[in-house]
Amino acid sequence: MKLLDALKWRYAVKRMNGAKIPSEKLNNILEAIRFAPSSFGLTPYQVLVIEDEETRKKLTPHFYNQPQVVESSALVIFAAKTTINEATVAEYMQEIADQRGVPVDALKDFAGYINGSLAHQSDEQKAIWASKQTYIALGFGLVAAASEEVDATPMEGFDPAAVDAELGLAAHGLHATVAMTLGFRDAANDYLSAAKKVRFTAEKLFIKK
């Protein structure tokens, strides 16, 4: 399926049929998320992929009982790091050094640039910044899912504190920011399955100078 056709095909599915996603398709979606860009490349978040049905059932009340959480094949939760400091940057520099085969000392100017930028931000500003990065990754996941003909529903409608507590995220220095369900649409029970996709026209959306 061509990209634009895939994007026209997808919608925020409200009911899923419980069918499992083939592992190759799921891995392709996760790889697209892994390759999503982030500011400095720092990737100040982690991604939880919850396929276990019992765990999804426990989380469903925290998602206000939206049925696709348990009807999906996987619930993907994007969780921002709650502490972003020089240790975070040092870990990233080591990753660059290991993957590119360069001395970590050769990256000190880059590390200094990132640390200098972060030093001018409050903890609250860094939390907002990290949260924004998760939305970029979510976008890549949604597009990748469509290209694999897997349904995906982006979800902000949940109680982040309750999800954090249920999954013990605070102990790992993480905070849930946004999520998506992955699976296959239950067209017979989803009122949106046959609805026309509505978007503003290009003339109304884009401002060209």
What pLDDT, on the 0 to 100 scale, is given for residue 106? 97
Q: How far apart are CA 140 and CA 30, in angstroms?
A: 9
Mean pLDDT (whole number) for 12-36? 98
Asked if the model's pLDDT at residue 128 lies above 80, the reply is: yes
According to CATH, the topology of domain 3-81+127-191 is: NADH Oxidase (3.40.109)
pTM value is 0.96
Residue 120: strand, helix, or coil: coil
Q: How far is CA 31 from the centre of its chain?
A: 12
The pLDDT tens digits of the residues spanning 101-117 come to: 999 999 999 999 999 99
Tokens of 30: 């996760």
Mean pLDDT (whole number) for 76-85? 98
User: What mean pLDDT value characterizes the chain?
Assistant: 97
Q: How far apart are CA 150 and CA 105, in angstroms?
A: 43
What pLDDT, on the 0 to 100 scale, is given for residue 65? 98
What pLDDT, on the 0 to 100 scale, is given for residue 197? 93
User: pLDDT-based confidence at 1, cuts 50/70/90?
Assistant: confident
**If DSSP states are collapsed to H, E and C, what string results for 135-203?**
HHHHHHHHHHHHHCCCEEEEECCCCHHHHHHHHCHHHHCEEEEEEEEEECECCCCCCCCCCCCCCCCHH
Report domain extents, the chain: 3-81+127-191
